[in-house]
Structures are given as structure tokens and as C-alpha cells.
Amino acid sequence: MRKTYFAVAIIAAMAIGIAAVPKTMAEKQVKENRSVKIEGATPENPVVYLGKAFDKKSGKEVEGYAIVHYARSAVKPAKPSSSATCYGYLAKGAKWKTIEDWTVDSENTRGLDGASILQNMSLDISKWEDATDGNITNGTGTNILGAGSLGVASSTLGISLDNRNEVEFASITNTGAIAVTTIWGIFGGPVSSRQLVEWDQVYDDMDFDWSLSETAVAGKMDFENIATHELGHSVGMNDLYTSKCSDQTMYGYASYGEITKRDLAPGDITGIDLLY
């Protein structure tokens, strides 16, 4: 397992902000020609409620959320303030209790190599898994998201619950949206009963060019930088929007050429350690 290099610090928590939309919106959001719009999502309210669905794997009713990652903006979402906000959860105790594999559909308009995308995603997942014991230098941790493979994604562009964990590229028509991660799970009720059951990610390859380079590339979004953030949502972490947390991987905005969020920061490590 690959290692990252930061020490543990900062103890905090942050509540999720939710913009509610009708249950049927999940189906309405899927567009043809590999494009998708998350209705109701804005830079001020980047989290949208997708409604309820029945999860065949767990045999339970679950809820879904779409979390849109925007390019850096002067507009800050209206989030609850806190004296310490350098990590937060989608919901307290909501985490993976089963290990499921995932698929990368590498079809994209930017010429990115599929094998390289898969390798990069696996590396980024290992960072979060390695940090679950609070120590990112010992190469040990918890297997959270299983193994990945190349394949063909479903036609829902990650919006509807379909019992598959998928990564793909498409046009996200929300202005300024770099990527969107959707999470399905049980977020209410007793903390001990909360769990995550599905994750999907879409990266915008219409308005943004991407780089898989080992170094920063001006004018391009660094895939490792963005994917490490998105995978934080996949394992249960929430966005951060206060300036004191702007150096954390889970900070809610990103910029062209940025690579500083590739490695987990102290708040990220503390948060995933306490969750798992």
C-alpha cells in the first residue's frame, strides 16, 4: 500500500449541508450524450439530496446525495460555523461495513490512458485506507473500497442506485463543476446502524482538461489531486469550506495546476482514523 507523509493533528467535526430536491430528480438528472446536470446544485449549495431507493444488497431502504466539486470561487457555501472544522463526515458513523469492488470506465475526450487512471485511483484509495490507523508511514490500514478494474459503466452516469461502484468521464453541465460524487447509504437513525452502500464518480472532460503527470501542469486539473478529494467522499468524509482548513484534501474547492491535495493533511488523517 502506498504511503503519504503527514503527522496526525487537529480534532474536529462538521455537519453536512443538504439542498433537498424531489425523489424523482435522480432519474431526471440523467442526460443523453454522456452529459449530466445535478439539479439544484450551486457553489453555495453543492450537496443535493437524491431521494430514497431500495438497496438489494443490504435489503434496506437507503438515501442518496450528490456532492459537486467546483473550481475555486469567491462564493462560499453557507455552512454551519465551528471552532474546529478541519474534518467532517457525511453523517456521524456513516461508513463502509462491507468490501465491494469498483469499475473505471476510462472513455474520455482528453486522451487519458485507462490503465493509468485505474492505477492512479488505486493509489488514491490506498492513501485513505492507510490513514485509518492514524499512521501514514507504516503502510498498514483498513481495506475500505476493495479492488478496481477497467470496464464499461452503466447508462445512469452515477446518479441512480444500481448496485455498482463506478468512475467515469462525461460532461457535467453545472457551471464550474469539476466532478461529482454520489453516495448512497443509511445516514439517519442510530449511529451504529449507519452505513455506506454505493459510490459513483463523474469527472468533467468537456470544460476541464486533465493531467496525470507526476508534476503540476498549468491550465489542467490534476487528476490525482481531484480524485483523492472525491474518494474522501466515497469513504464518508465531507467537504470543508473555512479558510483555516484550505490546505486539507477535503477543502471544497480546487484550482488548475493544484497538486497540494494529493497527500492527506492532518485533519483528513484524524477524521478517517476516528471514522474507521
pLDDT in tens, 157-200: 878 999 999 999 999 999 999 999 999 999 999 999 999 999 99
Q: Is residue 209 part of a domain?
A: yes
Domain tally, the chain: 1
Phi, psi of 248 (to 5 degrees): -80, 150
Per-residue pLDDT tens over the stretch 62-89 = 999 999 999 986 455 545 444 456 999 9
Q: Report yes or no on 8 lying in a domain.
A: no
Assigned domain for 6 exists = no
**pLDDT score, position 75:** 53
Split at pLDDT 50, 70, 90, the class of 53 is very high
Distance of CA 90 to the CA centre of its chain: 11
| pLDDT at position 23 | 33
Stated pTM of the model: 0.86
The pLDDT assigned to 74 comes to 45
Is residue 115 assigned to a domain?
yes
Rounded CA gap, 91 and 74, in Å? 27
Q: What is the mean pLDDT of residues 42-62?
A: 95
pLDDT > 60? residue 120: yes
User: Taking residues 39-48, what's their average pLDDT?
Assistant: 95
Residue 217 lies in a domain: yes
- Residues above pLDDT 90, as percent of the chain: 77
pLDDT at 116 > cutoff 70: yes
Q: What is the CATH number of the domain that holds 217?
A: 3.40.390.10
Residue 162 lies in a domain: yes
Q: Is residue 17 assigned to a domain?
A: no
14 lies in some domain? no
Domain that holds residue 163: 25-275
Query: What integer pLDDT is reported at residue 76 of this predicted model?
Result: 53
Query: Would you state the pLDDT for residue 77?
Result: 54
**What percent of the chain has pLDDT above 70?**
83
